Amino acid sequence: MVEAEHKIGESFPVQFTWRLPDGDFIRAIFNAEVLDYVPAADKYVANLTKLVAGRQEDPEGEMRPTEAVNHEYWQMVHDLVGNTV
């Protein structure tokens, strides 16, 4: 039987990466607070409490300058804070 590394109430960083329609990537790191653990699935139920860091990269992996990022998609990233995953 697998034993969870994190207990309910603890927090840990999680990273998500999305490929945008134009080929760019958004990478974002969130702080996630454990709400529950499902042993049968070996999965956490967590709340994304804070956007810790992020960047947008072109298809070759080069970081885009702030003035060149897609603000519409970044708003969607920011809107994930407070959601349960």
Contacts of residue 45, defined as CB under 8 A and 6 or more positions apart, other chains included, come to 34, 35, 36, 37, 38, 84, 85
Tens of pLDDT, residue by residue over 13-71, are 999 999 999 999 999 999 999 999 999 888 999 999 999 999 999 999 999 999 999 99
pTM: 0.88
Question: Which run of H or E residues covers position 47?
Answer: strand 43-57
